């Protein structure tokens, strides 16, 4: 964990820097690969303000605490930061747990033999656009799809244009 301590209207002593570093050690259980903690200590009127900005696993957390004592502000800010990180970690774990459960259930239906042959397992919807044959060929050649269903501009019938293995196109014309 990279910790940077700076001050505004206050001189950051080695004791303050060491206190922040020692207290921030409890955040290591949440630490990711590139965790950065920026601590800004500042004095406004009679209040000691501590702002902490944590960059953790692509997530950004900002905490601000005010108190008459600088060390108390640091403790309060670290407590809030720890709660936020714990909440974020639990949310991420729940999300992964739900994703694993869904994948497991989907795997059971395919691998477990509970799905019946000939059953519809995927449904896609799209709107049919009136196109000329040339426009349909152009649109199909730009996409990665192997077929395109469209409404013929002249006949107003639904047609299916498909790519053939030799690079040419085939067409299915409805009656």
Q: Kindly report, residue by residue over 61-107, the tens digit of the pLDDT.
A: 899 999 999 999 999 999 998 888 888 778 777 777 776 666 666 65
pLDDT on residue 110: 47
Query: Residue 160 sits in which domain range?
Result: 130-173
152 in the same domain as 69: no
Average pLDDT over residues 109-123: 65
158 in the same domain as 74: no
27 in the same domain as 83: yes
pLDDT on residue 59: 77
CB atoms under 10 Å from CB of 70, counted, come to 19
pLDDT digits (tens, 9 = 90+) for 2-25: 889 999 989 999 999 999 989 888
- Residue 30 pLDDT exceeds 50: yes
Where would I find the beta strands (DSSP E) of the chain? 2-8, 36-44, 47-56, 59-67, 130-131, 147-152, 158-163, 169-173
82 in the same domain as 8: yes
Higher pLDDT: 53 or 30? It is 53
Rounded to whole angstroms, how far apart are CA atoms 47 and 70? 8
Q: How confident is the model at residue 52 (pLDDT cuts 50, 70, 90)?
A: very high
89 in the same domain as 138: no
- Domain total of the chain: 2
Is residue 121 domain-resident? no
pLDDT on residue 46: 87
Sheet of strand 47-56, all strands in order from the earlier edge strand to the far edge: 2-8, 36-44, 47-56, 59-67
Q: How confident is the model at residue 109 (pLDDT cuts 50, 70, 90)?
A: very low
Average pLDDT over residues 112-141: 78
pLDDT on residue 18: 92
Q: Which among 52, 84, 101 is the end of a domain?
A: 101
92 in the same domain as 14: yes
Higher pLDDT: 134 or 108? It is 134
Q: What percent of the chain has pLDDT over 70?
A: 86
Is residue 125 domain-resident? no
Assign residue 151 the CATH number of its domain.
3.30.505.50
86 in the same domain as 15: yes
CB 73 within 8 A of CB 40: no
Return the structure tokens found at 49: 């303000």
What average pLDDT is seen over the chain? 83
87-103: buried (b, 16+ CB within 10 Å) or exposed (e) per residue? ebeeeeeeeeeeeeeee
Q: What percent of the chain has pLDDT over 90?
A: 31
């Amino acid at each position: 964990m990279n910790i940077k301590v700076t001050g505004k209207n206050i001189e950051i002593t080695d004791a303050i820097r060491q206190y922040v570093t020692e207290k921030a050690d409890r955040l290591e259980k949440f630490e990711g690969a590139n965790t950065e903690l920026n601590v800004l200590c500042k004095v406004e009127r009679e209040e000691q303000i501590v702002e902490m900005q944590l960059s953790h696993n692509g997530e950004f957390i900002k905490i601000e605490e005010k108190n008459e004592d600088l060390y108390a502000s640091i403790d309060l800010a670290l407590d809030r930061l720890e709660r936020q990180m714990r909440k974020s970690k639990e949310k991420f774990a729940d999300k992964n747990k739900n994703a694993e459960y869904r994948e497991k259930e989907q795997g059971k239906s395919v691998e477990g033999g509970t799905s019946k042959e000939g059953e519809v397992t995927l449904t896609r919807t799209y709107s049919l656009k009136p196109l000329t044959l040339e426009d349909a060929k152009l649109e199909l050649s730009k996409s990665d799809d192997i077929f395109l269903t469209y409404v013929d501009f002249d006949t107003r019938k639904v047609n299916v244009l498909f790519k053939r293995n030799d690079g040419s196109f085939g067409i299915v014309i409805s009656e």
